[in-house]
Amino acid sequence: MTSGHETGASTAAAQSSASDEARRLHGVFIQVEIDDSIRGDRELAAKLAEACPVDIFAVGDSGIEIVDENLDECVLCELCLDLAPAGKLRIRKLYDDSVLERA
Ligand code: SF4
């Protein structure tokens, strides 16, 4: 006799929405560091806001603002580095602890 215990392939939809929470966090992979000496430059803020393809920069009342929720969308195009004075803006890649900047 066989113990007729056949568990049919129950379609337990294993929905791994673990990345949902990760998506709520921003600045997990990328951090933009702005030197205090340029932070208040609204003209530069406007140029950065226009240049960045993923809208990480915005023009605020007090100058350059970072749009936190877009940080991890950075495509490392370096357009912002071309606009900012050398050494005053840095893209920090938190996932490999390296930095992009103009010397
Ligand atoms: S490297 Fe490119 S995508 Fe990243 S912040 Fe600068 S302009 Fe935006």
For 11-43, the pLDDT digits (tens) are 444 444 555 555 567 878 999 999 999 999 999
Residue 12 lies in a domain: no
Residue 23 lies in a domain: no
Establish whether residue 77 lines the binding site of ligand 1, counting it when its CB lies within 6 angstroms of any ligand atom.
yes
Residue 42 lies in a domain: yes
N-terminal to C-terminal alpha carbon distance within the chain = 79
Cα(5) to centroid of ligand 1, in Å?
59
Alpha helices in the chain (DSSP H): 18-24, 36-39, 42-51, 79-83
> pTM for the whole thing?
0.78
Residue 49 lies in a domain: yes
Residue 17 lies in a domain: no
Q: What is the domain range of residue 59? A: 36-100
Asked if residues 31 and 100 have their Cβ atoms less than 8 Å apart, the reply is: no
**Total domain count, the chain:** 1
Asked if residues 34 and 88 have their Cβ atoms less than 8 Å apart, the reply is: yes
Beta bridge partners of 98: 93
Establish whether residue 71 lines the binding site of ligand 1, counting it when its CB lies within 6 angstroms of any ligand atom.
no
Residue 78 lies in a domain: yes
Mean pLDDT of the chain: 85
Cα(9) to centroid of ligand 1, in Å?
48
Residue 4 lies in a domain: no
Residue 88 lies in a domain: yes
